[in-house]
Structure 1
Amino acid sequence: MPDLSLCLEALSAVTGCNVQQTTALSQLTPQDIVNIVALKEFYKQEGFKELEYKSVGTLSLRDSDDMDLYSAPPALKEGPSTAGPDASMRATVKVNPQEFFDQQYDYDFTNVKDGDKSFMRGSEQYVRPCGWSRVALRVVGKYDGGEAWLGTGSSAWPVSYHGNNMDGTSGIILARKESTAEEPGFLDAAAASLTTGETRGRGVYSTPDVKVAEKYCKKFKSQVDGNTYKVVLQNRINPEKRQQCQREGYCVVYVPDDANDVQTRAIVQESLRPYGILLKRL
């Protein structure tokens, strides 16, 4: 496992919180991490500027590249909303490393090259995160229904990677339609999206390819060693909840127009389960 302080910095980068170590109970679970990242992207896509998350507080949805973890960016009040920032400090949350991380499943892919090797998770190809180091999250025994979702068999969920800025605004648009009867309308919508740049599915995006996720990932400069790192979430995605996008290499979990905040969070939790944080030193 990389230095613990570096891992906490990575969590801070992806959540926008100040994540600290504790020996007491964690305020965040691994599931909370992917919830926060996915919901922040979704509500930003919807035009909001903040997210209220239980156990964390109010989180700003403002863009921040090359994040300085030790600055005090503005947080925002009661959300989602369109209010502007106030002078609040970044939310501080604490996690217990013993109950949050699972070192036995850490894996260093930094110098791994798979070449023509093929790996499967469920019935789909698993593109391993070569070039990255994986910090495993403690998720075994945390979900109902056993661990089949996390395995390698036919009932396992496929692997999904999540970069912080995958909010559907970069042409990651429209689910692929299976019915040929819907194809003309789909083509019209796709053509419109090329000219307006606004057409996109209302939902949470991810990708089975870590190289695609890397394009959208969060970067941060570490005070542990002075290096800059990229960070990506490695998840499993429920194949019954996601749809493939027309743009190859992307998938979307749709959120209905009439879904409220509680329902939106439930959709994320039913669809995405995290099991690793990936780090790459620049």
Structure 2
Amino acid sequence: MLSLQPTGNVIQVTDQDPLSTIQQLIQEELKIPVEHQLLFMEDEFQKDDQQIFPNLKSNLAHIVDARGSIALLCIELPNKTRQPLLLDRPWMVSNLNKAIEQRFGYAILAQQLQLQNGAPTYNTGRRPKKIGQTIFRNFFKTEDTQKLSRQTQIVNGSTIALSINTSNLFLRTMSSPNQTYDISILPSMSVQTVINSLSQRLNILPYRFKLFTLVSRVELAENHRLLSSYDLEAGQIIEVVISPPVKRKVQIILSSGKILEPDLVVEHRISALKNIIRDREGIETHNQVVLKEGNELPDDALIFDCLQDWNGSLNVKIVLSGPLALDPSVLAPEFDFDFTDINDCGQVFTRGDHVYERPSGCMRIALNVAGKYGTDSRWLGMTGTDPEEWPVSYHGTAQMNAMSIADEGFKLSKCDRFAFGRGIYSTPQLHVAKDYASEFEYQGNKYFALLQNRVNPKYLTIIDKQETLHGEYWVSSKDKAGGSDDDIKDLIRPYAICIFKYQSR
């Protein structure tokens, strides 16, 4: 059985039938006279009437009427296999290039074509237009196509060798099917390498790219595989499909407790999320801090990277402008006090039966501790004599640490220096605390910050100056191990931040 292409008609043949018999069967089936038949089978044009085919490699045969409008050509591919190619009129160089690209996937830019033999002899009933002998000797090199007349015709029945003038593969997008791009991609590269290169060049996240072979439309779905493992060869085209950006609904919890659930484009940055919150809630972007598991997400971070493999909520703290950007929910502005021009020289104050050195020279920002540690607030008393009143201490640290402690309280797990035993270190002496504070800059001025605390005397160990060689240290610790983070709130409680404008200390 022999299937005749391109019509799909079938004729019955035996392995002893000569070509002349096959031609007669074709004439009966397709009504094409033998003398006008152009037959391609078994990888070549068949001309010998006595040729038999005892071991057919394929049951396909390609046949055209030499008088018709469709040319039948034999294309020898770079791997030396031969394939038939049907070409509609006009039979010109540009059409041949396009047909090879569409049928075999080799980019027009990469094609070099050379005539292997002349067209077979057949009676068309009319004389074909001839092309020059120079063109026959070196048939239609791609770089010469612009020099040829667009009316130059290809001879029906020619065998043409295709070679490739590059070692690269080419890319084409579905949105620009007539544009082919060479970005130096080799068959030895992996799918992931190509996707990464496209991502960088186009500034599009890798997840949006899908790659396909041009002709068979096989998806290059396994990123670790080499392009050559998909039977891609130099000169061939990879089709690139770019999907629209993905949107994702994310739960946003504001410090007020209000919940937002915007649809976020994952290719946008955290700054875009802040813009959404600003537009919906009227909160300026510079007053927002976006947190994932307690860690701040920078404005330039991609939402895709931040939310990859993450299904939780994001928290947004609202912070005020100033030397320390603090969430208003942790503040108690009615208790703020300006100590910048206070001079307590000669005066003595006490809290919790210990001397209280007031933070002269600072702007004190009160923290909201109302109800935070239960209903009994005598620990925060100001009489100096109440046995339930806790004494005052200071803790010098860096800007970001001060903001974290104001928000979360002290965390023993974040401490790593314990010169006099494990615990939270503070001091009743301003000059000692200042030595541990780090300077920071805000709007051209330098500042440093101290935490003002109340310390539970039941769990307080005092290390005197003779031992520290510096000043008096207070160590708040529940046991020799120092206690856990959950214990710390019963040992030491920050209730204000003292912000000092830097002067030589």
For the superposition of Structure 1 and Structure 2, which TM-score range results when normalised by the shorter chain?
0.5 to 0.7
In structure 2, the partner of 1:238 is 456
Structure showing greater Rg: 2
The amino acid across from 1:150 in the alignment is L
> Which of residues 432, 438, 445 is equivalent to 1:218?
438
1:215 shift after superposition: 0.5
Cα distance in structure 1, aligned partners of 2:451 and 2:348: 21
> Which of residues 360, 381, 390 is equivalent to 1:157?
390
TM (normalized to structure 1)? Answer: 0.53
TM (normalized to structure 2)? Answer: 0.31
Which protein is richer in strand relative to its size?
2
1:103 shift after superposition: 1.0
1:173 shift after superposition: 4.5
1:98 shift after superposition: 4.2
Cα distance in structure 2, aligned partners of 1:130 and 1:209: 12
Cα distance in structure 2, aligned partners of 1:228 and 1:92: 30
Go from structure 1 to structure 2 and tell me whether the alpha carbon gap of 1:116 and 1:144 turns closer, same or farther (over 3 Å shift): same
In structure 2, the partner of 1:187 is none
Greater relative contact order structure (CA < 8 Å, 6+ sep): 1
In structure 1, the partner of 2:317 is 94
CA deviations on 1:50-87 (whole Å, 9 max, x unpaired) are xxxx95249xxxxxxxxxx9999xxxxxxxxxxxxxxx
**Which runs of no fewer than 5 residues in structure 2 stay unpaired?**
1-253, 259-291, 302-313, 320-326, 399-414
Cα distance in structure 2, aligned partners of 1:276 and 1:258: 27
1:249 shift after superposition: 1.4
Please say if residues 206 and 250 of structure 1, whose CA atoms lie closer than 8 Å, have aligned partners that are also in contact: yes
Please say if residues 455 and 476 of structure 2, whose CA atoms lie closer than 8 Å, have aligned partners that are also in contact: no
In structure 1, the partner of 2:473 is 250
1:270 shift after superposition: 1.4
Cα distance in structure 2, aligned partners of 1:132 and 1:93: 29
> Which of residues 206, 227, 230 is equivalent to 2:445?
227
Go from structure 1 to structure 2 and tell me whether the alpha carbon gap of 1:143 and 1:254 turns closer, same or farther (over 3 Å shift): closer
Please say if residues 219 and 228 of structure 1, whose CA atoms lie closer than 8 Å, have aligned partners that are also in contact: yes
Please say if residues 255 and 315 of structure 2, whose CA atoms lie closer than 8 Å, have aligned partners that are also in contact: no
Cα distance in structure 2, aligned partners of 1:150 and 1:271: 13
Please say if residues 132 and 278 of structure 1, whose CA atoms lie closer than 8 Å, have aligned partners that are also in contact: yes
1:226 shift after superposition: 2.1
Asked if 1:140 corresponds to 2:373, the answer is no
Task: Name whichever of 151-160 and 236-245 sits farther off.
Answer: 151-160
Q: How does 1:180-219 map to 2 (within 5 A)?
A: 201-219=421-439
Q: Flag as ranges the 4+ runs of structure 1 deviating above 3 A.
A: 69-72, 95-98, 254-259
SS in 2 for 1:113: coil
Identity %: 34
Go from structure 1 to structure 2 and tell me whether the alpha carbon gap of 1:70 and 1:132 turns closer, same or farther (over 3 Å shift): farther
Q: How does 1:36-185 map to 2 (within 5 A)?
A: 55-57=293-295, 94-95=317-318, 97-153=327-383, 154=386, 155-164=388-397, 173-174=419-420
CA deviations on 1:196-252 (whole Å, 9 max, x unpaired) are xxxxx2222110112211100132111xx2211101111101111110013341111
CA deviations on 1:162-212 (whole Å, 9 max, x unpaired) are 1127x685xx844xxxxxxxxxxxxxxxxxxxxxxxxxx222211011221
SS in 1 for 2:484: helix
In structure 2, the partner of 1:271 is 491
SS in 2 for 1:218: coil
Please say if residues 459 and 478 of structure 2, whose CA atoms lie closer than 8 Å, have aligned partners that are also in contact: no
Go from structure 1 to structure 2 and tell me whether the alpha carbon gap of 1:207 and 1:253 turns closer, same or farther (over 3 Å shift): same
The amino acid across from 1:161 in the alignment is Y
Asked if 1:24 corresponds to 2:256, the answer is yes
Q: How many equivalent pairs are there?
A: 174
Go from structure 1 to structure 2 and tell me whether the alpha carbon gap of 1:94 and 1:123 turns closer, same or farther (over 3 Å shift): same
SS in 2 for 1:240: helix
1:110 shift after superposition: 0.8
Please say if residues 56 and 93 of structure 1, whose CA atoms lie closer than 8 Å, have aligned partners that are also in contact: no
Please say if residues 107 and 134 of structure 1, whose CA atoms lie closer than 8 Å, have aligned partners that are also in contact: yes
Please say if residues 25 and 95 of structure 1, whose CA atoms lie closer than 8 Å, have aligned partners that are also in contact: no
SS in 1 for 2:397: coil
Please say if residues 477 and 491 of structure 2, whose CA atoms lie closer than 8 Å, have aligned partners that are also in contact: no
Go from structure 1 to structure 2 and tell me whether the alpha carbon gap of 1:108 and 1:258 turns closer, same or farther (over 3 Å shift): closer
Task: Name whichever of 249-258 and 112-121 sits farther off.
Answer: 249-258
Please say if residues 164 and 216 of structure 1, whose CA atoms lie closer than 8 Å, have aligned partners that are also in contact: yes
The amino acid across from 1:139 in the alignment is V
CA deviations on 1:130-183 (whole Å, 9 max, x unpaired) are 111100111122212511001123221000101127x685xx844xxxxxxxxx
Task: Name whichever of 211-220 and 263-272 sits farther off.
Answer: 263-272
